[in-house]
Chains A and B, each alone.
Chain A
Amino acid sequence: KAGVTQTPRYLIKTRGQQVTLSCSPISGHRSVSWYQQTPGQGLQFLFEYFSETQRNKGNFPGRFSGRQFSNSRSEMNVSTLELGDSALYLCASSLNTDEQFFGPGTRLTVL
């Protein structure tokens, strides 16, 4: 069974631009969560989607948004990029309410 995939793996953008990251969960998993990982703040929860509905949202500004499609694939978008948005963005999928399986992450660099 294929694992969680994230595209792209690496991304370089400049301040003010916007970016879209994609996550394909494990087949059959309907829950997708997004996390931001930075050296200073560690791992922080962004949002969780279940059956195309946002179920939970972390404490991030409105520039961060996401959505989930009917096939459970999810995208997150960051508009008006800031230097501080440079991070590893991790996506995780789960079948039930316990174990989450993570993808390899997208490393975003904002210049």
Chain B
Amino acid sequence: AQKITQTQPGMFVQEKEAVTLDCTYDTSDQSYGLFWYKQPSSGEMIFLIYQGSYDEQNATEGRYSLNFQKARKSANLVISASQLGDSAMYFCAMREQEENSGNTPLVFGKGTRLSVIA
């Protein structure tokens, strides 16, 4: 079963508008972390934002915020005031923390390609 599901293969947004990229996850662990990465055409994965399963507040980093809805197992990324440089692939990822064996490797979704239009 897919652990991370990103249902939007591609999204378009007008410059200066906000956009939400969807991510749902599947885990039976109580302790886990959720990540969003940006991958421009150069290939490098750029860390954007992190949300821990026990964090009560939604994470924010500048123009990025994570809409964390634990009961629905969703961790959507919101980008405010989109810029042309935001055009890239965006990946949602999860890392579970297992009691006896520690953290599991990052598991990534298939990604969403965001295109910002001038």
* Chief secondary structure at chain B's binding surface: strand
Across the interface, do B44 and A43 meet the contact criterion of CB distance under 8 Å? no
Residues of A in contact (CB 8 Å), total 22
Across the interface, do B107 and A98 meet the contact criterion of CB distance under 8 Å? no
When C-beta atoms are compared, the residue in chain B nearest to A9 turns out to be B43
When C-beta atoms are compared, the residue in chain A nearest to B111 turns out to be A42
Q: Which of B81-118 contact A (CB under 8 A)?
A: 91, 93, 95, 97, 102-111
Give chain B nearest CB distance to A86 CB in angstroms.
Answer: 14
The answer to whether the Cβ of B42 comes within 8 Å of any Cβ in the partner chain is yes
The answer to whether the Cβ of A25 comes within 8 Å of any Cβ in the partner chain is no
The answer to whether the Cβ of B64 comes within 8 Å of any Cβ in the partner chain is no
The interface residues of chain B lying within 8 Å CB-to-CB of A103 are 44
Across the interface, do B43 and A104 meet the contact criterion of CB distance under 8 Å? yes
The answer to whether the Cβ of B45 comes within 8 Å of any Cβ in the partner chain is yes
Give chain B nearest CB distance to A44 CB in angstroms.
Answer: 8
A-B contact count, CB below 8 Å? Answer: 51
Q: Which of A95-111 contact B (CB under 8 A)?
A: 97-105, 107
Contact digits for A46-58, partner B, Cβ 8 Å, 1 yes 0 no: 0010000001101
Q: Which of A33-65 contact B (CB under 8 A)?
A: 33, 35, 42-43, 45, 48, 55-56, 58
CB-contact partner of B37 in A56, A97, A102, under 8 A: A102
* Chief secondary structure at chain A's binding surface: strand
**Interface core residue of B37, B45, B47 (most chain A CB under 10 Å):** B45
Across the interface, do B104 and A107 meet the contact criterion of CB distance under 8 Å? no
Across the interface, do B44 and A105 meet the contact criterion of CB distance under 8 Å? yes
The answer to whether the Cβ of B50 comes within 8 Å of any Cβ in the partner chain is yes
CB-contact partner of B33 in A48, A56, A98, A105, under 8 A: A98
Q: Given A33-B106, A58-B105, A99 and B47 touching (CB < 8 A)?
A: yes
The answer to whether the Cβ of A23 comes within 8 Å of any Cβ in the partner chain is no
Give chain B nearest CB distance to A32 CB in angstroms.
Answer: 12
The answer to whether the Cβ of A21 comes within 8 Å of any Cβ in the partner chain is no
The answer to whether the Cβ of A81 comes within 8 Å of any Cβ in the partner chain is no
Interface residues of B (CB under 8 A from A): 33, 35, 37, 42-47, 50, 52, 91, 93, 95, 97, 102-111
